Structure formats: structure tokens, C-alpha cells
Amino acid sequence: MAFTPESGDALVVVDVQRDFCPGGSLAVPEGDQVVPVINRLAPRFRTVVTTHDSHPSDHSSFERHGGPWPDHCVEGTPGWELHPDLKVDPHHQVFKGRDRETDGYSGWSPELADFLAHRGTTRVVVVGLALDYCVQATALDARAAGHEVLVLTDATRAVNVNPDDGERALDALRAAGVHEDRAEG
């Protein structure tokens, strides 16, 4: 049976951007496979938020500046754009990672918390890329802020820099009281 959103649920779509999909500079394996799932899911929510990894070209997380990652999601480049097949109409957008010295994994912020409170959100449903970084950080921060949080596992994928990073992320989410389900049966 497919997941059914409740009236107080908000969908947070994390970083479904070209650079995180196949062909991108920091591609998540099968990252594009979340797109059709999210497209079917999003219209069923009263509140939809998108997060966007938005780095300056000299971001400290880039390998050429001593960081662990290739250049990715540089604001204004094609890789920064949302996946072209993603069809969501967000009520709010979060741009994270703009500070050169901050990784910006989490899309959670006081501004987002205020926006969701004004929308009457009682549960935060998190999907997107990548499970073991930005999805995990966003879900954990929302949970730490006192929200009920649900991650839909078929609407996210892990980058798995180390084998089983995705499974370790799910273990950490469970330990923090984050629930999991599947968007589709």
C-alpha cells in the first residue's frame, strides 16, 4: 500500500540537482530514480519545500581547496539546477552551502522552522539526495528541533562513499527517533 500523507505533513525534497544525478560531477548512484517517485508524491502534500546545494565557486569543500568533494552545485551552473524531470511546485525554497566555509549538508534552519510552523506542519517527510549526507542531516536537525520526522526510503539514494554508508545513515536516523516508510508499496 502506498504512503498517504496526513494533513499536517510537509514534504522536504532535498537537493535533487543535476550534479547529484548520473552524469553530474558528484553523482549519487541511481539518484535520478527518485525523480518519478517524488513527482507522484509531491502533489499529495499541502506543503512542499525544496532544498538546493548552492556553493560559491571557491567553496572549501571542493578538492581543489582541500575538501573531500569535486566541484559541485556551483550556483548558476547547469549542475546547480534541479533535475530537469523533477516536477514539484515548492511553497518554499532553501539555499544552503552559500557560505564558503560551511558544508551546508542540512536544509534545516530557523527560517524553515518558522515557515513550517506557519503552515501548521506537524510532521516533516524527507526525500531526495543523498541519504547519507544531506537527507540524513536535514532529518536529524528537524528531529532535534522537536518534529516528528519520516524518511521515505524509496525516494532517496545514498552516495555510499564508504560501503554501507546508506545503511549506517538509516541506523543513525532510527536511533534519533526518525521513522521510515516507502512512498510506494
Active site residues: 15, 96, 134
Q: Do 151 and 126 meet the contact criterion of CB atoms below 8 Å apart?
A: yes
Q: Specify whether the CB–CB gap between 136 and 28 falls below 8 A.
A: no
13 DSSP 8-state letter: E
| Cβ atoms of residues 3 and 123 within 8 Å | no
DSSP state of 69: B
CB atoms inside a 10 Å sphere around CB 118: 10
SS3 124: strand
DSSP element (H, E) containing 155: strand 148-157
Residue 181: phi and psi, rounded to 5, are -155, -175
Per the DSSP assignment, residues forming a β-bridge with 47 are 10
Give the DSSP H/E element, type plus range, for residue 86: none
Angle at 162 between CA 160 and CA 165, to 5 degrees: 55
